[in-house]
Amino acid sequence: MKRQYLTRHEIEKIIAATVSGRHEIRDSCLILMSYIHGFRVSELTGLKMSDLDIESKTIFIRRLKNGHSTIHPIHDAELDLIIEWIKHRNQYLKCKNEKWLFLSQCGTRLTRQRIYSMIRNYSLTAGIQIFAHPHMLRHSCGYELANQGMDTRLIQDYLGHRNIRHTVHYTSGNSARFSRVWQNSWLASFADNRIFAKSILEAAIVSAQTSTFLYT
């Protein structure tokens, strides 16, 4: 079975490869946002300027496929890129009232095909060996959240899955979800007591050896 996600290192390489393109600011911004928010490509192209609230650092996520729409915080890692793209976006505007966040060089809404082509070309430039496509960024988001030990329900809400069965494959084989198991149990004090007991025993042994040396 072919791998359906990109690693963190591969995503970094793809974003770095945008310096070779004509639309570096736009492309690096949309790729990073796709990863952080787990966008489907149509959700990404459907982003509107009105979905952003830069002052409160939030973004409205309009999920498709009958998913649950929600509001995400804007991560510090993407905030500067978004602000930079909004400034740069004026150069793409052909119509003053254009509502879409990401525009083509013709000033219109980016197409799904353009983003598929973009990800593919940048992945080739970056020397990535697998056939990369935009939906892999969504899967990468899911696996990254699982690696952080996030609860399955939280990942479901974050990605907008209506059915949790679509979320479970991110967490089912991930050991990070068990990282907090036993954390606040009696075993923590048990371990501390064992260390304490060991130090007492070692001190007693040293004391006994010293006494033996003095009286022999």
How far is the C-alpha of 163 from the C-alpha of 155, rounded, in Å? 12
Query: Which is the catalytic residue, given 62, 120, 135, 166?
Result: 135
Which is catalytic among the residues 40, 92, 158, 177? 40
Positive or negative, the CA dihedral 150, 151, 152, 153 is: negative
Span 182-198, mean pLDDT? 60
Q: Which of 7-16, 121-130, 141-150, 189-198 has the lowest mean pLDDT?
A: 189-198
How buried is residue 69: exposed, middle or buried, by Cβ count under 10 Å (0-12/13-18/19+)?
exposed
- Is the pLDDT reported for residue 215 higher than 60? no
Annotated active-site residue in 26, 37, 89, 161: 161
Least confident of 82-86, 123-127, 174-178, 209-213: 209-213
Residue 26 token pair = 């736009």
Range 54-83 average pLDDT: 93
| Cα(49)–Cα(53) distance, integer angstroms | 9
- Least-confidence region, from 39-43, 108-112, 181-185: 181-185
Any catalytic annotation for residue 161?
yes
160-180 pLDDT per residue, tens: 988 888 888 887 766 665 666
The yes-or-no answer on residue 109 being catalytic is: no
Q: Is 8 a catalytic residue?
A: no
Residue 40 pLDDT more than 70? yes
Cα angle for residues 55, 41, 63 (degrees, 5° grid)? 60
pLDDT for the residue numbered 170? 84
Nearest-angstrom CA–CA distance, 177 and 95:
48
Residue 95, pLDDT score: 79
- Contacts of residue 148, defined as CB under 8 A and 6 or more positions apart, other chains included, come to 176
**How many angstroms separate the CA atoms of 17 and 209, rounded?**
67
Catalytic residue among 26, 89, 138, 177: 138
Q: What is the DSSP letter of 10?
A: H
DSSP-derived secondary structure letter, 48:
B
- Residue 122: which of 2, 7, 11 has the closest Cα? 11
Percent of the chain with pLDDT over 90: 61
Question: Model confidence over 81-98: pLDDT tens digits?
Answer: 999 999 999 999 987 778
Residue tagged active-site, from 65, 68, 87, 194: 65
Q: 124 — phi, psi (to 5°)?
A: -65, -45
